[in-house]
Structure 1
């Protein structure tokens, strides 16, 4: 197991450097004046331009800029905006909110999606199966922001069950409805994926063998059938966490949540390359971490994987 973990960690190193270099290149090599509009309606003084050019090493080659940035990044320094605000502080304020929102969405989509998939996969065709299929198709057909706006209007404005906008504290209770809206699309995919996987594995040899040995139905389902059926679902959920954190821009805008999504939008709008680079690099780290967690869960669920 230790060799398996070490091998996976070593595989992440070139992926990290490759993705971060690509991100840094795409963000900082955009043609145009990086200081345009940074001094209001007038052109920035040459002294300001020279100072910013020296601070961000813009006269160096792209490779030199990248390795200087990585050197600072490894010490926890995400750089500064053109207003000399540390990007790490901006991320520190916004990241916990988006992380809570993403975790709420993951929990909702996993509980409801897996539960619906297991029930329909075990029971086969019938009223419940048709209901789940129609419901998931409906959610897949709707953009996430439409689901969010509908929930905001119905539950907030019309019925008064929730507040239309999330407060600055963004507690778990306030994030349940935005989390449902954010995870609704993935929830539909997980339900369908689980249903298909359960239906296929019901006829597998290991399930028939467990039944022939006289094992209780509950043990056959939860230990043998579900354990082998959730591997593709875990893959989807693990990748989806990074996608939820980066793709929450619209949902955070609908419910007025001050998170990473809004910070990315402001960074792009204000052409703050350091902010955009820092956040995207953080999302890459989340993807890599979740990829490692998924690989380890593979090895736990199916010990044959670690020996391959």
Structure 2
């Protein structure tokens, strides 16, 4: 396992360099004036544009800009916005809120989705199975902003159970409803994926052998059936964490959460290329690390999988 981890970490290096360069190239190759609107309604003075162009190396070739950015990144410096604010401070203020929200959403979709998938996979074509299938289809078809506004009005305005907008920094209790909204679509996919995997593996030889040996059904499901059926679900959940962190723009906007989603939206609107690149680079790291962790979990769930 140790050699496999080292090999995978070495493989992540060219992947990280390639993806970050592509992101950098796409962001800074967008046509338009990056200083438009930075000086109000009037055009920016020529001396201001010259100073800012030299400060952000915009007069250099793109590959020179990229290597300068990566050199600073390896030293822990994400750079500055055009307004002079440190991107490190911006990320430090916003990222913890998004991480909390993403983990709450991941917990919601894992607990509710797995429970619904296991129950319906063991008892197919019953009332509960049909109810879960209809409910998950409804959640998949419903846009996230509709779910968010409805639950915000119902729990926050109509019933007064929660605050319509969360505090800063938010507590995990305040993030339960926003986390459910963010993870609702993924929760539906997890339920359907777990249902299909459980139903497929239930007729496998190793499950029938365990039942024939007289093992309790709880042990058959928990030890034998569930571990093998979790592999596709774990794969989905592992890659979904990065998607939740990057796709929280709508949820953060509805509930007033000061997170990365809102910051990257502002950066796109105001053409703050350095901010967009820095946030997306962190998301790339999350994807790469989660893929490695998922691959390591495979060997724990299925003893037939070996990496050495």
TM-score (norm 2): 0.97
Residues 258-297 of structure 1: matches in 2 within 5 Å? 258-297=258-297
Offset at residue 74 of structure 1 (A)? 1.1
Residues 147-158 of structure 1: matches in 2 within 5 Å? 147-158=147-158
Aligned to 2:145: 145
TM-score (norm 1): 0.97
Offset at residue 264 of structure 1 (A)? 0.7
Aligned to 2:86: 86
Cα distance in 1 for partners of 2:107, 2:188 equals 13
Cα distance in 2 for partners of 1:184, 1:23 equals 29
Q: How many residues are treated as equivalent by the alignment? A: 308
Question: Any stretches of 5+ residues in structure 2 without a counterpart?
Answer: none
Cα distance in 2 for partners of 1:267, 1:50 equals 21
Cα distance in 1 for partners of 2:299, 2:62 equals 40
Cα distance in 1 for partners of 2:81, 2:307 equals 47
Cα distance in 2 for partners of 1:181, 1:33 equals 37
Cα distance in 2 for partners of 1:36, 1:123 equals 60
Aligned structure 1 segments of 4 or more residues deviating by more than 2 angstroms: 212-216, 302-308
Offset at residue 301 of structure 1 (A)? 1.5
Question: Any stretches of 5+ residues in structure 1 without a counterpart?
Answer: none
Aligned to 1:193: 193
Contact 1:4 1:306 in 2 (8 A): no
C-alpha RMSD of matched pairs (Å): 1.1
Offset at residue 170 of structure 1 (A)? 0.8
Cα distance in 2 for partners of 1:137, 1:43 equals 51
Aligned to 2:48: 48
Cα distance in 1 for partners of 2:43, 2:307 equals 63
Cα distance in 1 for partners of 2:142, 2:152 equals 15
Aligned to 1:73: 73
- Residues 251-270 of structure 1 show CA distances to partners (whole Å, capped at 9, x for unaligned) of 11111111001001110111
